[in-house]
Structure 1
Amino acid sequence: MAGRFAPRPTRTTVRGGHVGIPAGAAAGIPRQAAAPPRVRRWTPDGPLDLGLVLGPLRRGPADPTFRALPDGSVWRATRTPAGPGTLRVRGHGGEVLGEAWGPGAEWLLDRLPDLLGAADDPDAFVPRHRVVATARHRRPGLRLTRTGLVLESLIPSVLEQKVTTDEAYRAWRLLVRRFGEPAPGPAGTGERPMWVMPAPRTWALIPSWEWHRAGVDDKRASTILRAVRVAARLEQAVGMPAAEAQARLEVVPGIGPWTSAEAVQRSHGAPDSVTVGDLHLPGIVGWALAGNRDADDAEMLRLLEPYAGQRHRAARLILLSGRVPARRAPKMPRWDIGLI
Structure 2
Amino acid sequence: MRERRYDMPADLVALLGPHRHGGHDPTWQRTGDGAIWMTSRTPDGPGTLRVTRHGGQAWGAGATWLLDSLPGLVGADDDVSGFVVHHEVLKGFGVPRIGRSGLVFEALVPAVLEQKVVGREAWRAWRHLLRKYGTQAPGPAPEGMKVMPEPEVWRQIPAWDWHRAGAEAVRARTIATAAWHAAKLEAAADSASLDRLLRALPGIGVWTSAEVRQRCFGDADAVSVGDFHLAKIVGWALTGEKADDAEMMRLLEPYRGHRHRACVLVGLTGLRPPARGPRLSARDYRSF
- Residue of structure 2 equivalent to 1:307: 255
1:230 aligns with 2:230: no
Instruction: Give distance in 1, aligned partners of 2:81 and 2:32.
Output: 31
Which one of the candidate residues 267, 271, 276 is aligned to 2:225? 276
Counterpart position of 2:7: 43
Residue 28 (structure 2) pairs with residue 66 (structure 1)? yes
How many percent identity over aligned positions? 53
Question: In 2, Cα distance between the equivalents of 1:107 and 1:244?
Answer: 23
SS in 1 for 2:101: coil
8 A Cα contact 1:179 1:197, kept in partner: yes
Is 1:55 the equivalent of 2:6?
Answer: no
Following the alignment from structure 2 to structure 1, what is the Cα–Cα distance between the partners of residues 5 and 70?
9
Listed as ranges, the matches of 1:54-203 within 5 Å are 54-92=16-54, 97-134=55-92, 136-137=93-94, 142-187=96-141, 192-203=143-154
What is the deviation of 1:331? 1.7
Matched, 1:218 2:169: yes
Query: Which of 270, 277, 284 is residue 322 of structure 1 equivalent to?
Result: 270
Q: Deviations over 1:26-81 (max 9, x none)?
A: xxxxxxxxxxx10111235xx43211110100101100000111212111111001
Show structure 2 runs of 5+ residues with no match.
none
Aligned to 1:32: none
Counterpart secondary structure, 2:264: helix
| Contact 1:216–1:337 (8 Å) recurs in 2 | no
TM-score under structure 2 length normalisation: 0.96
SS in 1 for 2:57: strand
Find the residue that maps to 2:24 and give its secondary structure.
coil
1:265 aligns with 2:227: no
CA contact (8 A) 1:261 1:274 kept: yes
Code of the aligned partner of 1:282: A
Any unmatched runs of 5+ in structure 1? 1-36
Q: What SS does the corresponding residue of 1:186 show, helix, strand or coil?
A: coil
Residue identity opposite 1:106 in structure 2: T
Superposed CA deviations along residues 88-119 of structure 1, whole A, max 9, x for unmatched, are 11013xxxx21100000011011111111112
1:269 maps to amino acid:
G
Say which SS state the counterpart of residue 263 (structure 1) adopts.
helix
Question: TM-score, normalised to structure 1's length?
Answer: 0.82
Mapped to 1, the partners of 2:82 and 2:11 lie a distance apart of 18
Matches of 2:196 and 2:277, distance apart in 1: 34
CA distance in 1, matches of 2:24, 2:232: 28
CA drift at 1:123: 4.9
In structure 2, what is the Cα distance between the partners aligned to 1:152 and 1:332? Answer: 27
What one-letter code is carried by the residue in structure 1 that aligns with 2:3?
A: V
1:252 matches 2:201: yes
Distance 2:268 2:162 in 1: 33
Shift of 1:272: 0.4
Segment of structure 1 superposing worse, 328-337 or 314-323 = 328-337
